[in-house]
Amino acid sequence: MARARANPGTGPAFTGWLAAAIVALLLAGAHLLDGPDATRAAEDQHADLALARRHAHTAANLERAATRLCQLERGSDSRHHWDADGRLVCVTSHDTTKTTP
């Protein structure tokens, strides 16, 4: 007389299928561990370059505006620099400094 299994879903065949399913899931998700593809890396590099160009353009505009402001306030021979607090300081060769708020 053949004995019936107590739990038919736990035999060696089921364990093999379960192992195969786990391996398939691991292989399917392995691409998530890779870094960005070449296209994404190029897009990121392009965005970083565009941001750097915008920053340089803004900094140049700020310096030109500071030069103009100091020349209007202190004369055409004035120069400017930024103090430790980030405030504009206008300086002339024959005058004391003046901090612009």
Tens digit of each residue's pLDDT (9 = 90 or more) over 51-85: 999 999 999 999 999 999 999 999 889 999 999 99
Is residue 16 a part of any domain in this protein?
Answer: no
Residue 44 contacts by C-beta under 8 Å, 6 or more apart in sequence?
36
**Per-residue pLDDT band at 29 (split at 50, 70, 90):** confident
Q: CA–CA separation, 98 vs 101, rounded Å?
A: 10
With 60 as the cut, is the pLDDT of residue 40 above it?
Answer: yes
Is residue 54 a part of any domain in this protein?
Answer: yes
Is residue 39 a part of any domain in this protein?
Answer: no
Q: Which conformational region is residue 63 in: left (phi greater than 0), alpha (psi within -120 to 50 degrees), or beta?
A: alpha
Residue 67 contacts by C-beta under 8 Å, 6 or more apart in sequence?
80
pLDDT at 63: 95
* pTM flag (> 0.85): no
Domain that holds residue 65: 44-101
| Domain total in the chain | 1
Is residue 59 a part of any domain in this protein?
Answer: yes
Residues 22-47 have a mean pLDDT of 83
